[in-house]
Chains A and B, each alone.
Chain A
Amino acid sequence: QEVTLKLHQFLPAQANVPKLILDVWADGVEEASGGRIKVERYPSMQLGGTPPELIDQAIDGVADVVWTVVGYTPGRFPTTEVFELPFMVDDARAASCAYWKMFEEHMAEGEFRDVKILGTWVHGPGMFHTADPVETPGDLEGMKIRGGSRLVNKLLELTGATPVGMPVPAIPESLSKGVIDGTTIPWEVTAALKVPELVENHTEFTGTALYTLTFVLAMNKAKYDSLPDDLKAVVDSKSGLEFSIFAGGTQADADGPARQLALDAGNNIITVSEADAAQWLEVVQPIYADWVAEMNGRGTDGQALIDQARGLMGGECKGADARM
């Protein structure tokens, strides 16, 4: 082959995202290039460093392509947080579609100008997995909960819970030791972490999700620019809007089997109705206000971003779907 791309990410090779999304992308690129591109896959941070460094590894060329959680580097990509606001997203496909469109409009030449973004997506509904049942915001008071992002931590603080920061792989040990009383993650991640064996209660929401995290698949800019035009076209054909929708949808679809595992284990799944979610919405209002103020402080109209994201998710991106 002519070109080798080193794809680096933090999960084991057999986890859902590498297996169902990244491998599909990589195989697709290899095939469409007629064998001229080879994608070498390095799972579990094998190229060194810690997950928050992945984005810099793509920018600096330590890896050619990385998959990363945007929220691992708080403060650097503030616009993406519009999709991380609590009770914002109800469908991962529509949100991933809107995320790509807003990426092209606001972020490609802004926050992400140092890197070539190949895909932007969100995971399925984020939710609580706790030792004691959580139905109302008041139930969280005094609990130590691992939060997945800056905004989730704010939400936890507002409910009187104590947010604890730790990387995803540290969750099982901390749960089993009682260092934390619960964690926020989507269903899809719970199976690999044995969460249903460690806590008995799971709180999900009908309608909009408690929260979602944003992801990017990012490529080193110089590496992309060094490709001959036909290979650039190959990479482009496997990336972008369609791929983003596919990735978000695939990840959300992986929630089902993981949820079934918790049911099989005899766990208690609490589903908060849209009516009962009202008291949750009230609690998180300050987060919206703060976020808008923060964005305005950065010279960006925060409310306009929220409105645009909602408009896209309810409008042209509604019902979006794609297969690779």
Chain B
Amino acid sequence: MTDIQIGVLSFPALLLMIFLRVPIGLAMFLAGLAGLLIVTGDTTVPFARLKSETYTTFSNYSLSIVPMFLLMGHFATLGGMSQALFKAAEGWLGHRKGGVAMAAVGACAGFGAICGSSLATAATMSRVALPELRAYGYAGGFSTATLAAGGTLGILIPPSVVLVIYAILTEQNIAKLFLAAFIPGILAAIGYMIAIGIYVRLNPGSAGIRPRVSYGDRLRALLAVWPVLLVFGLVVGGIYGGWFTPTEGAAVGALGTGVIAWFAGGLTWATLGESFMVTARSSAMIFFIVLGAAFYNGFLALTQVPQEIAAWVVDQGLSPWLVLIFILAFYLVLGCLMDSLSMILLTIPIFWPVMLELDFGLVTMVELQTARLDALVASGAELSQAALDEARTALAAGVELTREQIRELGLRQVNQGALNRVNTEQVAIWFGILVLIVVEVGLITPPVGMNLFVINAMDRETPMVETYKAVLYFVASDLVRVALLVAFPVITLMFIPW
């Protein structure tokens, strides 16, 4: 058997283990270990790697963002921020048709801005919003589905643990990925509100009416969310403003929410200990999956399988767009069975080399030169008006600037290599956001949807089937959004600096 055959065969073996309920991280670790043993013929390589690989995986500086964000999300809950967000959203939206559900989605989006985890967002907001929804006569399955879908905003809106992992796997800039996730995240919240509007019209009697609140009360409720805005502004603003790295931003966020929770009286020695326990369980689970994936991917790399698959796909000469749609569809199917983080860790090392070989032509030389010229003008450089006009005319007509023009303007050199780098980064960001969305859809697609399970478990009276039925509206909204983002990459990429 060749190394490549062993690599390919490891995949069904791994899936078999996972479907037999072997914990996912353990299954990947075992597949990697067994694979390395078979390919190299003895224990030298896998055992030697284990001498340092566990330590270096757990001590990865970029990954240390994960426990910090988890702590931050927990502190935010202790500080009453979830409550404040929901009250504010309810004040402004609650009196509309389906308004309380819309408010829950809005509050999820707000909480998502300070929480990096989908499940934590769903669970936290459910504690606040579920009783309220039921009190105003919202149907059980509709309520749970709303919160399960709203929870996915926790990871679509930055900060996001899954995006951090993706950034590390593809060696991309975490800050740029966070920035790119922003508009798709807002679109998701709007899409879910539209889905709610459609649901309540197609299912009369599924939602009651909540009385209007005075504008004074609304404003008061809105002012109460200042801690959320402060923390989000500090963390995200600091990262983009160049004050600190994403990991440092996570530390600032954790400390900030901790201090706010302490002032609000939510942070005591007892709740701090509980925060440590919650963070410990989630962090250990995530890091063990990361470790298993690192081990398995190291084995796959040794067998050259990812490179072979990439080469094979390129040889087929398929349209890049078709390949992309196949990959996204694959995630949607796999997402019915597996959780988001495992899927990313398992598949990105295989799909990313494929994506790297595909040319979507997202950025042209003319566009890149235009952007560089705009930056130069914005920087206040003194340029000859004639040369500038000439360059603008050429670029507007779709003609590349000549070397002489570039030199005369003092513009930074743009060669093919620079263009390729920009294109690779754009594809990485765009693809990352698309993958993020499709794996998050997996959290709410029946039958295995982690968010569905957790929220449904919080509402004993509602049968799972009711939740399944109602959530399809939200899944449909997700699919429309994915189609939009595939068709118009600019939606994702418009604010990303080159």
A179 touches which of B44, B48, B245 (Cβ 8 Å): B245
Question: Which of A48-56, A80-88, A290-298 faces chain B?
Answer: A48-56
Report 11 cross-chain contacts, Cβ distance below 8 Å, ordered by A residue.
A47-B302, A48-B295, A48-B297, A53-B52, A61-B45, A62-B44, A173-B175, A177-B242, A179-B242, A264-B413, A265-B412
Q: Mark A164-208, 1 if CB is under 8 A from B, else 0.
A: 000001000110111100000000000000100100000000000
Complex contacts, A42 vs chain B, CB 8 Å: 301-302
Query: B48 near A57 (CB under 8 angstroms)?
Result: yes
Query: A177 near B298 (CB under 8 angstroms)?
Result: no
* Known A57-B48, A178-B243, A194-B418; further 17 A-B contacts with Cβ < 8 A: A46-B302, A47-B298, A48-B53, A48-B295, A48-B297, A49-B49, A49-B298, A53-B56, A60-B51, A62-B44, A62-B45, A169-B171, A177-B239, A179-B242, A261-B413, A264-B413, A265-B413
- Beta-carbon contacts under 8 Å, B396-419 to A: 410, 412-413, 418
Q: Tell yes or no: A266 within 8 A of B by CB.
A: yes
Query: B56 near A49 (CB under 8 angstroms)?
Result: yes
Complex contacts, A261 vs chain B, CB 8 Å: 413
A310 to chain B, nearest CB (A): 37
Query: A48 near B49 (CB under 8 angstroms)?
Result: yes
Complex contacts, B173 vs chain A, CB 8 Å: 173
The total of Cβ contacts below 8 Å across the A-B interface reads: 62
- Beta-carbon contacts under 8 Å, A244-277 to B: 261, 264-266
A27 to chain B, nearest CB (A): 19
Total B residues in contact with A, Cβ cutoff 8 Å = 27
Q: Tell yes or no: B352 within 8 A of A by CB.
A: no
Total A residues in contact with B, Cβ cutoff 8 Å = 25
* In the complex with contacts A169-B171, A179-B242, A49-B412 CB distance below 8 A: no
B311 to chain A, nearest CB (A): 14
A60 touches which of B48, B302, B418 (Cβ 8 Å): B48
Query: A50 near B56 (CB under 8 angstroms)?
Result: yes
Mostly helix, strand, loop or mixed at chain B's interface?
helix
B294 touches which of A48, A176, A265 (Cβ 8 Å): A48
Residues of A within 8 A of B (CB): 42, 46-50, 53, 56-57, 60-62, 169, 173-174, 176-179, 194, 197, 261, 264-266
Residues of B within 8 A of A (CB): 44-45, 48-49, 51-53, 56, 171, 173, 175, 239, 242-245, 294-295, 297-298, 301-302, 410, 412-413, 418, 421
Docked complex Cα distance between A49 and B295 (Å): 9
Complex contacts, A179 vs chain B, CB 8 Å: 242, 244-245
B252 to chain A, nearest CB (A): 14
Complex contacts, A60 vs chain B, CB 8 Å: 44, 48, 51
B245 touches which of A177, A194, A266 (Cβ 8 Å): A177
Query: B410 near A48 (CB under 8 angstroms)?
Result: no
A46 touches which of B51, B239, B243, B301 (Cβ 8 Å): B301
B404 to chain A, nearest CB (A): 13
Complex contacts, A57 vs chain B, CB 8 Å: 48-49
Query: A48 near B298 (CB under 8 angstroms)?
Result: yes
Question: Nearest chain-B residue to A53 (Cβ)?
Answer: B52
Docked complex Cα distance between A266 and B413 (Å): 9
